[in-house]
């Protein structure tokens, strides 16, 4: 079969994403029960990083190792990309060594260029425009607490123009849940979304999620952002407006006391640590899907 990339959530259909979540549940249970699954034995993932990472690197590397495969970390500063080699040339070369490529970069155009020239599946490990692998983990975590995604009330509080904000909008369109974005003027998503004040956005919600106010590459804007987002902290007072059964998500890293209060992050409604672990489990399912579907069946042995 022809290779498929995962650059945004909608690169897979809702039916395919639902099947992926089912497979994730199986893989997570196997890990809990210490059952070894080696569906990617002998496979290699090359991970190219232009942005620093903790969860993306570790979750992909652990996912490949636990499925019997191998992951190679390639920081830009230690590769010829850092000395001017083109993405096109890199994509062609890496495709000869790997079964898939994970790229964590800045502009969406960069990952599109890499995917255009790669002959193996390319996975978006984060770009300025989206963070689809994180949303896979978030959606799966929601399904661990609710029977279905459709109809849920979800509030995203913070920078709605961030990659997380944009990906939440895409997810809501695919799975038909009620997404409310609480973001100040100038920090709202490009895509059409319901924009409310924080208290109104969180009122009666099943899920409350947030992200850092100042992402990588925005450090010079920090003071302006702190001022703009004053009043947008997910704290106990704001959470009191959510449904009693509401869960709290955060993709991490967290700046306690800025976008989220320590009491909420460590409180009984927080599922942030399970959400972080789920990065590994959903990425196992994604890697299986992309790598195995892109690999032609081996001919039957004769003689």
Q: CA separation (Å) from 173 to 9, 41, 124, 192?
A: 10, 36, 19, 10
Q: CA separation (Å) from 161 to 64, 127, 158, 168?
A: 32, 13, 9, 10
Residues with active-site annotation = 104, 131, 134, 211, 251, 279
């Amino acid at each position: 079969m022809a290779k498929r990339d995962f650059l945004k959530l909608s690169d897979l259909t809702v039916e395919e994403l639902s099947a992926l979540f089912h497979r994730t549940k199986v893989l997570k249970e196997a890990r809990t029960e210490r059952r070894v699954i080696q569906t990617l034995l002998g496979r290699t993932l090359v991970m190219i990083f232009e942005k620093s990472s903790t969860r993306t690197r570790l979750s992909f590397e652990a996912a490949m190792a636990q499925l019997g495969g191998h992951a190679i970390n390639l920081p830009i500063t230690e590769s010829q990309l850092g000395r001017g080699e083109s993405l096109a040339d890199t994509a062609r070369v890496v495709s000869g060594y790997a079964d898939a490529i994970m790229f964590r970069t800045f502009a969406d155009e960069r990952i599109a260029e890499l995917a255009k020239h790669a002959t193996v599946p390319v996975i978006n490990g984060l770009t300025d425009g989206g963070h689809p692998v994180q949303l896979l983990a978030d959606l799966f975590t929601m399904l661990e607490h609710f029977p279905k995604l459709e109809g849920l009330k979800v509030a995203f509080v913070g920078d709605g123009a961030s990659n997380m904000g944009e990906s939440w909008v895409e997810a809501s369109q695919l799975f038909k849940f009620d997404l409310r974005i609480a973001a100040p003027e100038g920090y709202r998503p490009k895509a059409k979304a319901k924009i409310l004040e924080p208290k109104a956005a969180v009122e009666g919600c099943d899920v409350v999620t947030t992200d850092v106010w100042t992402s990588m590459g925005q450090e010079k804007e920090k003071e302006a952002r702190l001022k703009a987002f004053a009043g947008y902290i997910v704290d106990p007072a704001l959470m009191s407006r959510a449904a009693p059964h509401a869960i709290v998500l955060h993709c991490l890293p967290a700046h306690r006391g800025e976008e989220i209060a320590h009491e909420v992050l460590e409180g009984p409604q927080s599922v942030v640590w399970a959400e972080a672990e789920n990065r590994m489990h959903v990425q196992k399912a994604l890697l299986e899907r992309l790598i195995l579907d892109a690999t032609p069946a081996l001919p039957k042995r004769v003689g």
